[in-house]
Structure 1
């Protein structure tokens, strides 16, 4: 899941319609507030049958809006529509989807939606047969033509007991989609290459040499660059933690040689390269085509040096920003400096 406080200062308006999936909005509201967003909520009357406005108002720290008018006062739907940086219709029921497509305005939520001047993100939720009905498919395409982003539904057990498509995206996926939509533009137009994780150097069909790298740092860097507006290419070794944003290009590799080739190829089209992968320094000189059998005598393994990715890029970086990491167990700064070139920046870990 994306890191906390990435939405600090952002204004998110949640539109909740009548669906059993409305309970997920309790979790999403909490995630948004934790990420630093200011959250306001508009509900349809049917939505209140599935989730309590009191719970949502407590979590969002704002009053929940339901009615166009209450007593002698009215809810300023125009102000609400203009307040938000993003309006999220979730769960979006089949009925409310049809109203959005047709431009109907018979409740506060639809009035706010039609008044909204911000981007709109929709997360449908309905039974499988309703989801696949031609009218629903046409309505989805209709609201997409308005410029709205529509999240894919999930497949699984539905409230009807059927198994199929129609489940609303999970709150964590919604949070990622919201963060993607509200990305900053500080690095807009910049292309960034990130490498992460270990490499596996095979001995035989079942064994390999590796290290303890998890790829967490590289994944976090990829998400951070993407969140600032950059286009990101993520090259990762086996078992690496993955970035959360689906818009990040992801290229899997296995060996040090694989990572060398993939990184050199991608380097030509980026402005910044951050090499955070723990690439093997040595690889077996011979890879057996059958499993090496256990023997009584000592086993000697011949290794050859792998190609130095950071050094190769540093020698021909052509004005690009190149950052590498040196993992040391002693005299970290001194050893990192010895390994560095004048044409690159080395960060010691």
Structure 2
């Protein structure tokens, strides 16, 4: 049984902390809540105490007198801040310590997971994004936020991750496994490069292989950040998902997720994008020739991370989707990009969108030819190799 310190801060989504607590206790974890003054505006101490079966801590000085905030900070295996308001995130990023929650967060040696919840405009504000970047750089894990309807009559990114998903994320972080304590970034799916507001350039990638890899890594105890293009695949349990559309957005999301122990680039990133995308739909004019679309190169995400001067992960794995001379192209790509491994496959058949894959693992030591396998089994084999490589 793991010990979880749950910090509930001031957000309308605080009511979801009750369901999260129930799910965590059902999974066998011990939950000790800290309720901030803002959180107490939305949920009561009595409700949290009843569902957690534990005393709710809410006063720095009372805690100092009875158990001590340092003892409380040393108690958990994991600290979860859910919901994490914009104010709480700012306090964490700047090291404030003037109430019980912020003092414990500054003093704890346990891993910390934050689940942001706020208005979309507050989430998008440069100050919030800078604070989030600071927390990620310190190794704080992040779950969400999700996109959807808010308490206000508007919609956008800022919703708290649903309790069941958050409970699965917490379970994966606490799971024993060869990748426990490791952070791995995985990219998955296609990118969409806008031609105009309604059209785009894309490819046939379904995201099945990338999502399976993320799930397999989480099952081995890794903290996984999945950067995904538009796909119909469900989010893997216990994985933090960042949704993007374009290659430039994918690069930004990957860079924001660094540092990491390993990065696996399974996404089928478009090599090119339209040089300019009109803000209005391109119209088909009778008798006129088709419009000319000039293309520009997209950023090379794999090479950018593999050759990063300061934040290069220990293990960088690329994918090579080829239709001919697969191994030769993949071998050249590994050297050209500067990555450690390349997972190469022939996509001339039904691989994109299919349930199976036959890959070649290209490393400095040589080439391993894997048989045709379900994509989930390919993912498990690759995750096991990653665990072996990271020791």
**TM-score scaled by length of structure 2:** 0.51
Task: Confirm or deny that 1:262 pairs with 2:337.
Answer: no
* TM superposition shift of 1:231: 11
* TM superposition shift of 1:25: 0.6
Q: What does 1:183-198 correspond to in 2, within 5 Å?
A: 183-186=175-178
Aligned length: 240
Structure 1 residue corresponding to 2:159, chosen from 149, 154, 167: 167
- Matched residues in 2 for 1:129 and 1:230: separation? 31
Contact 2:63 2:69 in 1 (8 A): no
- Matched residues in 2 for 1:230 and 1:112: separation? 25
Q: What does 1:321-332 correspond to in 2, within 5 Å?
A: none
- Matched residues in 2 for 1:10 and 1:45: separation? 26
- Matched residues in 1 for 2:63 and 2:223: separation? 51
The alignment yields a C-alpha RMSD, in angstroms, of 4.4
* TM superposition shift of 1:124: 0.8
- Match of 1:65, SS state, is coil
Alpha-carbon spacing, 1:154–1:243, altered in 2? closer, same or farther (3 Å): closer
- Matched residues in 1 for 2:147 and 2:223: separation? 30
Alpha-carbon spacing, 1:243–1:173, altered in 2? closer, same or farther (3 Å): closer
- Is there any run of 5+ residues in structure 1 with no aligned partner, and where? 1-8, 190-218, 233-238, 278-308, 310-319, 321-349
Cα offsets for 1:149-188 (capped at 9, x unmatched): 1222111121222212211111112112212222312577
- Match of 2:130, SS state, is helix
**TM-score scaled by length of structure 1:** 0.56
- Is there any run of 5+ residues in structure 2 with no aligned partner, and where? 183-211, 225-231, 241-263, 268-348, 378-383, 385-391
The answer for the alignment partner of 1:152 in structure 2 is 144
Alpha-carbon spacing, 1:266–1:58, altered in 2? closer, same or farther (3 Å): farther
Alpha-carbon spacing, 1:89–1:226, altered in 2? closer, same or farther (3 Å): closer
Q: What does 1:67-146 correspond to in 2, within 5 Å?
A: 67-70=59-62, 73-146=65-138
Contact 2:166 2:238 in 1 (8 A): no
Contact 1:179 1:227 in 2 (8 A): no
The answer for the alignment partner of 1:244 in structure 2 is 237
Contact 2:84 2:114 in 1 (8 A): yes
Task: Confirm or deny that 1:36 pairs with 2:131.
Answer: no
Alpha-carbon spacing, 1:114–1:260, altered in 2? closer, same or farther (3 Å): closer
